[in-house]
Structure 1
Amino acid sequence: MKYRSTTLCLLAILTLWQAAAHATPDDTCNGQSFSKTFASGAKWRLCWASQPAEGIVLSQIHYQAPHQPERRILGQASLSQLETAFDDGSVTPLFLSTEAGFGGNNLQTLTAQDCSNGTLHAAEGRNVLCETTRDSGYSYKYVTQRQGQLLELASHSQIGARNYSLRWRFYENGTLEPSLGLSGELPIVDATDSAYGWAVMQSGKIATGFTDHALWRLDFDLDTTPANDVVEEITSTPTADRIRKTKAITTLDTETGRSFDPDIKRFWRIRDGVLTNGSVGQLSYELVPNRYDHSRANSSNEDCLAHDVFFTRYKACEQHAAHNATTDCGANVSQFANGESLDQQDVVVWYKQSYHHLPRSEDSNRIGTVWSSFQLLPRDWHATNPF
């Protein structure tokens, strides 16, 4: 009995030690917890909170495919900054996240009309987040077919004459799609120079074109250990006759900024430094960009817009891609990327998505909502299709 008691005590201590090892501060839910289980058994679990600058911020994002273990993808995800600049240069570029804020009083109180067939969620006594579940189309279609679903979390912020809709879609197959929608009223409708805009009113008044640069912050913490991730750049380069494409994979060992190339298919993945899918693949998530035609827009020559994507090592004070207010860190993401090692580290991806809007007559009273989105796609997260 003595030996049994001792063994039980040791097992209890070991269990507590293992629990403590996994219950790190990185696993703490900062905000309200949320989960969604689909009929297939696929599940998303995360936390959300309202912040003054970013609006709705997500954290501890986990995904579980049917009959598979649950694994963490992101420690935190947010729209960290949005810069808007006018084509005629008449107004100093505005940094809306830190100068105005997507949260606070700018975060709109939602009604049932804003959340048709959905569920409203409150923060600080106001309904600010809409949850809906909807069909997403074919998961696959070949000999057999399967229709999938997605979970959508949406919020709305009114900043001056603009309304921004922040939408996060979580697909049943593990795909994550952040989106930003723009509506509201056109800026500077009394402009006179058609070289910088478009005549949108019978009076001949010209609305000035403008560019929005959305800068997303994605703190990858794959699975239980946040600080063992690896960044890889994958290219498919065409031959001179453009008949074949050659694949190459390069590990990005140090903090850096990278850009798209229309002639070369170039994308990036963040993979776990240890875990595999049980076969030959290494667990990873791929950044699937969008709006290639707008990617080089940087009329104001801002350092934070010099590249389409930056990869840095996690630092708590590096929160905003531009106008980062802390004194202990750099002012913008180009200063964050100062050559520190990325190998087997806690990786943060800063993705820039630019959208140039040249007004049209149909925008003259209300801008028709324009969506900009990109995807995070599981790559080798499973040995086979789990559905």
Structure 2
Amino acid sequence: MRVGPKISLASIYDHDKDKYRRVMYRGYISELFVPYQDLTEEWYFRTFLDAGEFGFGICAVPLQPSKDCPKNAVFLDGYYTTRDGTPAKTENVFCVFERYAGDIMWRHSETILPGDTVEVREDVTLVVRMVSTVANYDYIIDWEFKQTGSIKVTVSLSGILAVKASKYTHKDQTEDGEELYGTLVAENTIGTRHDHFVNFHLDLDIDGHANSFVKTHLKTKVVPNSYGIPPSSPRRSYWTVVNDVAKTESDAKIRVGSGETELTVVNPNKKTKMGNDIGYRLIPGPAVGPMLLEDDHEQIRGAFSNYNVWVTPYNNSEKWAGGLFVDQSHGDDNLAKWTLRDREIENKDIVLWYTLGFHHVPVQEDFPIMPTWSGAFELKPNNFFERNPVLKVNSLKPTNWVNCSAHK
């Protein structure tokens, strides 16, 4: 009811080991923080926590076959409990389908050998989709599972802008220095600037419960001048890798783009035959963070957006990044408060919290219906397998597609 789709017990089949190996115990959207940037009396309070205040699952809508989902999709109904305790059903709330969009899984052309040997494998993925219409916005959520073991999560925005009336019909009519808090998208209509911060609760179990969070820094090193000793290389510099295992919660707070090059959850108790820690790497989306002051009341309520990445030890009561009750909350029970305890997270059952962000400055093309705007992140195997796990995947069978032409 609150978060919509939950992905549980996500595992990947390892052909070499002939077994399923756990990647994620449970993953879901924990909260959505949408602060509008209009300080007028009618708008300043419009900062929403969509999951906790409205219910991301309750706001899910039936999907339209062959429009919201392709023709090969299978649909699932959703069930939940209404406010008076009676059961309710939303038909076709999820769709599951295989996607082949002409993407390449892997390829190589060996031009040195006689005959120019070429091998290519097409990328076919499994997608789980839900759409939640929260008031004016439509959120399209895709969980995409790749044969390589990667899990890609995409959040797409569409729907109708939240707009307000204006006396202006042209931008030239505004006075110098006047703050409109948005863009004049049509006559007498202003699309207000705002943000979307979508927080994901990712309870990863990388081949077991005990995991660690590793920050990898790429450092430039300068080769020292050793007088009298012939250099082995004329190079003067190179870059090397420095790994930093987060010991406590404070070590794991990350603003994407602040320096850490790779962020990985590893199982330090299991290694590959080559001796590497098995793990999964977080491939973040765009580096987007809040621009409100941290002591702004609304930012205190949505404080999980202060960092893109948090890591906490698993606690069954800590499910919602914005707190258990967010209606008129004061931000005293949320992810930012929990992590002040600075608990140990090394070699523990840990939860990775990732916030995907959008700064939305409306443009005229967004009005009246907004074209889809997407952001994504990915969880990718990092020394999880002994080798390329899709090396023996067969190519797709040839298909004769019907030729289409425009109707005159």
TM-score range, shorter chain: 0.7 to 0.9
Distance in 2, matches of 1:278 and 1:86, equals 52
Question: Which of 4, 8, 11 does residue 59 from structure 1 map onto?
Answer: 8
Distance 1:247 1:163, change over 3 A: same
Distance 1:94 1:288, change over 3 A: same
The C-alpha deviation readout for 1:3-41, integer Å capped at 9, x for no partner, is xxxxxxxxxxxxxxxxxxxxxxxxxxxxxxxxxxxxxxx
Deviation at 1:91, TM superposition (A): 2.9
Pairwise mapping of residues 40-189 of structure 1 onto structure 2 (< 5 A)?
Answer: 52-68=1-17, 69-89=19-39, 90-104=44-58, 106-113=59-66, 114-117=68-71, 118-124=73-79, 125=89, 126-135=91-100, 137-143=103-109, 144-189=119-164
Aligned partners of 1:199 and 1:205 also within 8 Å: yes
Pairwise mapping of residues 233-244 of structure 1 onto structure 2 (< 5 A)?
Answer: 233-238=215-220, 244=238
- Counterpart code for 2:124: Q
The C-alpha deviation readout for 1:311-341, integer Å capped at 9, x for no partner, is 0000001011113339xx9711112212111
Q: Unpaired segments of 5 or more residues in structure 1? A: 1-51
Q: So what's the TM-score if we normalise by structure 2?
A: 0.75
Deviation at 1:295, TM superposition (A): 3.1
SS state at 1:97 partner: helix
Task: Tell me which moved more, 256-265 or 77-86.
Answer: 256-265
Deviation at 1:362, TM superposition (A): 1.1
Distance 1:159 1:261, change over 3 A: closer
Q: Which residue of 2 aligns with 1:12?
A: none
Q: How many residues align?
A: 330
The C-alpha deviation readout for 1:63-101, integer Å capped at 9, x for no partner, is 114444310111110010000011224234210000001
Structure with larger RCO (C-alpha < 8 A, sep 6+): 2
Deviation at 1:251, TM superposition (A): 0.5
Q: Which residue of 1 aligns with 2:199?
A: 215
Deviation at 1:236, TM superposition (A): 1.4
The C-alpha deviation readout for 1:293-323, integer Å capped at 9, x for no partner, is x235446533322211110000001011113
Q: So what's the TM-score if we normalise by structure 1?
A: 0.79
Match status 1:351 vs 2:317:
no
Q: Unpaired segments of 5 or more residues in structure 2? A: 80-88, 110-118, 168-177, 224-235, 392-408
Q: Which residue of 1 aligns with 2:275?
A: 280
Distance in 2, matches of 1:135 and 1:330, equals 46
Deviation at 1:198, TM superposition (A): 1.2
Aligned partners of 2:14 and 2:21 also within 8 Å: no
Task: Tell me which moved more, 369-378 or 229-238.
Answer: 229-238
Distance 1:238 1:258, change over 3 A: farther
Distance in 2, matches of 1:263 and 1:304, equals 17
SS state at 1:200 partner: strand
Distance 1:240 1:95, change over 3 A: farther
Answer 1 or 2: which has greater helix percent.
Answer: 1
- Counterpart code for 1:314: Y
Aligned partners of 1:190 and 1:207 also within 8 Å: no
Aligned partners of 1:78 and 1:217 also within 8 Å: yes
RMSD of the TM alignment (CA)? 2.5
Aligned partners of 2:30 and 2:201 also within 8 Å: yes
